[in-house]
Amino acid sequence: MAAQLQIAYLGPEGTFSHLVAKKRFGARAKLFPQPSIFDVFDFVRSGAKSLGIVPIENSSGGTIYETVDCLVDETNQLAILEDLSLNVRLALMGRRGEKIATVYSHFVPMRHCEPWLREKLPHAKRVPVASTAKAAELAARERNSAALGTRDAAKRNDLDILKFPVHSTVPNITQFYCVGRAARPIPRSSRTTIVVTLPNRPGSLYDFLGCFKNAGVNLTRLLSRPIIGRHKAYLFLVDIAGTPDQPKIKSTLAAARTTCESLRILGIYPVHSMYAS
């Protein structure tokens, strides 16, 4: 019998990363919560049948730089295998009949719901914690407390859902990567992610980006990160709409390489349809 696929995700149970892992892999895999994104990468590197689910960006909270730093690390042995996304709909959970004095959540949901909280719970203290799952645990232990998180977290902690969805008029989308050992790109792959370093001279970024502009190739993400151990030196994480098996992308990447000190492909992968929470 083949070994069961092991999926590491940013835990604990009841987080949105957990929800995405369940929606993507269901009963086909055993799920392992990890305390940090760095731990997710370590878990996947240690097992031949392991994959990881990590958040990369939230439309309200921005880029998850811990994921970026793990991906661009030169010692990283993992590749981006899939792009997953979740339409995050938050639940306010607590106990019916109690006056809410404190609201717990991760800082990203808290930031997204700030206008709603100011209007509906203006006197409640807002306390950011490590995860939405942790927020639910705290709300379950303390009277007059509530949490913003998943409906699954409410069920796990025997809490009432007081409002769902919260602040739903503003999109709240979280994008995730499925990471694993480098694999042959599948036919439906539609995006490529690269990491590049550029010469430290005027116009180097302009020259690099010009290769894509001149070819009419769309870039869907461009992030800069400092290079550890080098003063005022940066690398760039770049998402490209297309894959190197397309002649235009192949020739554009070849041209871009001539402007770089280094160019490394981090993944060629499909973009899945968005999940609902």
Q: Dump pLDDT digits (tens) for 50-68.
A: 999 999 998 878 899 999 9
The pLDDT score that the predictor gives to residue 253 is 97
| Final residue belonging to a domain, choices 182, 217, 251 | 182
How many structural domains does the chain have? Answer: 3
Residue 18: enclosing H or E segment and its boundaries? Answer: helix 16-25
Q: Domain containing 126: what range?
A: 90-166
Q: How far is CA 100 from the centre of its chain?
A: 30
72 and 19 housed in the same domain: yes
What is the torsional sign of CA 116, 121, 126, 130? negative
Average pLDDT value for the chain: 92
> Is residue 36 a part of any domain in this protein?
yes
160 and 196 housed in the same domain: no
The pLDDT score that the predictor gives to residue 235 is 93
Using 70 as the pLDDT threshold, list the residues of the chain that sit under it.
Answer: 1-3, 184-185
246 and 232 housed in the same domain: yes
What's the CATH number where 144 sits? 3.40.190.10
Report the distance separating Cα 149 and Cα 132, nearest Å: 5
